[in-house]
């Protein structure tokens, strides 16, 4: 046995299950810390992660999601949602107090874990402490990709017309 191996729970084939689970938990925690997330934000993360490619310093390009649901890019602070034939791009945080939003897959809705504000899949405010809809980002289709301007935010209460237009109908 090498100096890096451990048999703290016995040396049965496959290793010690508790040690394995401890290591996986530590690695997952380290990954969330590496992403710059607090434990509260990590719990709020939806399951579908995506990574966008910055094309010109401001625009982020993603493949069009194949199925409905929410996809998150923590590096660029973008939530990309495909819902009922449309695509939306949102700022990662709740507009109320800047907490990462949680996607409720079964309900197809967002919820802020801090104050329980809820939003439809298109970002429309439903209930809670927030005072406006989720913040949308400019979005457009280019071939089989969707391009998001992650540096500009449309707030529904300040620029309702731009907010309403910030979506893409899929063919």
Neighbour-count burial of 128, counting CB atoms closer than 10 A to its CB (0-12 exposed, 13-18 middle, 19+ buried): middle
| Averaged pLDDT of the chain | 79
Contact 154, 136 (CB under 8 A): yes
pLDDT digits (tens, 9 = 90+) for 137-169: 999 999 999 999 999 999 999 999 999 999 999
Provide the 10 A C-beta neighbour count for residue 121. 21
- How far is C-alpha 95 from the geometric centre of its chain's CA atoms? 15
Q: Report yes or no: 60 and 96 within 8 Å, Cβ to Cβ.
A: no
Q: Which residue has the tokens 């309403």?
A: 164
Query: What's this model's pTM, rounded to 2 decimal places?
Result: 0.70
Q: What is the mean pLDDT of residues 122-134?
A: 94
Tens-place pLDDT, residues 55-91: 677 899 999 999 999 999 988 999 999 999 999 999 9
């Amino acid at each position: 046995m090498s100096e890096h191996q451990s048999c703290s729970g016995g040396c049965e084939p496959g290793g010690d299950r508790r040690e394995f689970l401890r290591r996986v938990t530590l690695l997952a925690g380290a990954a969330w810390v590496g992403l710059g997330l607090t434990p509260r934000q990590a719990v709020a993360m939806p399951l579908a992660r995506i990574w966008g490619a910055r094309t010109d310093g401001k625009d982020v390009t993603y493949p069009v999601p194949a199925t409905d649901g929410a996809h998150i890019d923590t590096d660029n602070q973008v939530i990309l949602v495909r819902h009922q034939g449309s695509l939306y791009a949102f700022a990662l945080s709740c507009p109320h107090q800047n907490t990462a939003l949680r996607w409720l897959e079964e309900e197809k809705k967002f919820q802020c874990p801090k104050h329980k504000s809820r939003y439809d899949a298109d970002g429309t405010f439903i209930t809670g402490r927030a005072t406006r809809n989720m913040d949308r980002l400019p979005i457009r289709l280019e071939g089989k990709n969707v391009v998001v301007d992650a540096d500009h935010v449309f707030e529904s209460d300040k620029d309702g017309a731009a907010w309403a237009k910030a979506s893409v109908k899929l063919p």
